[in-house]
Amino acid sequence: MANILCFHFCFFVMYLFLYETQIEAYNPGFSVQLIHKNSPSSPFYKKITTPNNGVFTRVTSNNGDYLMKLTLGTPPVDIYGLVDTGSDLVWAQCAPCNGCYKQRSPMFEPLRSKTYNAMPCDSEQCNSLFGHSCSHQKLCSYSYSYGDGSVTKGVLAREAVTFSSSNGEPVVADIMFGCGHSNSGTFNENDMGIIGLGGGPLSLVSQIGTLYGTRRFSQCLVPFHTDPHNSGTISFGEDSYVSGEGVVTTPLVSEEGQTPYLVTLEGISVGDTFVPFNSSEMLSKGNIMIDSGTPATYLPNEFYDSLVEEMKVQSNLIPIEDDPDLGTQLCYRSETNVDGPILTAHFEGADVPLMPIQTFIPPKDGIFCFAMAGTDDGDHIFGNFAQANILIGFDLDTKTVSFKPTDCTNQ
């Protein structure tokens, strides 16, 4: 759900209803019934100054997006928010909530948390938030909108957050988050807010970076059409470093403090045939955004059309042309996923193979459709369908993105 752009085509909407994931399927990670010595509820609590090697959380597919668990407040409450590398603000629906979308789980109640502190409107954190204002109580009010028309309005606050860590000990830290009291948009009842993982100062990765001294995180997203009980991971700190055989790295083009993760896509190969991003113009740096909040990959129309034509040439299957529900998208009839061809995304200095499980999705039984689309508005996105089964590391300090083909269901 990028601030810049977030589209959903009809077949993606059809697909979302097919793969609704129950919140009960989430791996709770660790027990929150015990009061750890590092918990704000403990008389021995103090802010951690020597953190573990890293913290992580589970991520599960959810109706075309991914939900990440964030344990918030004292006593701790599990919040499941949409993972979004295309925005910054971390927020959750908070009670009282007037005009909010329906939520299955109870909303976060700030008055019940011992560590909740609303920020004053003259604070540095408030001034760093675009769209802030001053309430009658001199608190930092905000209105934060997204490219698909979704909006959250509420109060910026400081709150304790608890993570699982690589050594088994829970890690407690303070973060700034939006306590949303009026929220609307393209949400479903599993969504409890949005976890902004962009490059801005209020994103979760930037805030956790102050704890670990490095603004780095990695994600491993499971494919949508796999066992709904499977979950991927998002890691922060030193343990989020992507290394080993098969790792490739491309430079980030984003400026310091800029939200979107922009990289340069030179083209995509279908099998051994290279299809260039631009056929007649000089290639622009930072021509595509890596966005975990958008399902499909959006490419320039000419590039997309050439890609589809080459895929038709190399496929042994006959495209579906008699189903009005599918429109003009490239779809095939198959009981299992399409057997090739394998695509390779050629980022600057990094060739990333894309298997059919990353490039084709089933909008309905027995049919698989190409999970990319053309657009003429100039905003191009490498979406989360294509990001599945790749360990992707974002390093804001070195300004790089690394890719490693990985079975994320086994993480």
Q: Are 170 and 163 in contact (CB under 8 A)?
A: yes
Residue 365 annotated to the active site: no
The token pair at 41 is 């509820």
C-alpha span between 49 and 33 (Å, rounded): 24
**Which among 84, 88, 191, 395 is annotated as catalytic?**
84
Three-state SS annotation for the chain: CCCCCCCCCHHHHHHHHHCCCCHHHCCCCCCCCCCCCCCCCCCCCCCCCCCCCEEEEEEEEECCEEEEEEEECCCCEEEEEEEECCCCCEEEEECCCCCCCCCCCCCECHHHCCCCEECECCCHHHHCCCCEEECCCCEEEEEEECCCCCEEEEEEEEEEEEEEECCCCCEEEEEEEEEEEEEECCCCCCCCEEEECCCCCCCHHHHHHHHHCCCEEEEECCCCCCCCCCCEEEEEEHHHCCCCCCCEEEECCCCCCCCCCEECEEEEEECCEEEECCCCCCCCCCCEEECCCCCCEEEEHHHHHHHHHHHHHHCCCCCCCCCHHHCCCCEEECCCCCCCCCEEEEECCEEEEECHHHHEEEEECCEEEECEEEECCCCCEECHHHHCCEEEEEECCCCEEEEEECCHHHC
Q: Among 177, 211, 379, which Cα is nearest to 288's?
A: 379
**Cα→Cα distances 28→73, 205, 359, Å:** 16, 21, 30
**Which among 78, 191, 291, 395 is annotated as catalytic?**
291
C-alpha span between 385 and 250 (Å, rounded): 20
Residue 84 annotated to the active site: yes
**Cα→Cα distances 163→11, 156, 351, Å:** 36, 21, 33
The residues annotated with a catalytic role in the active site are: 84, 291
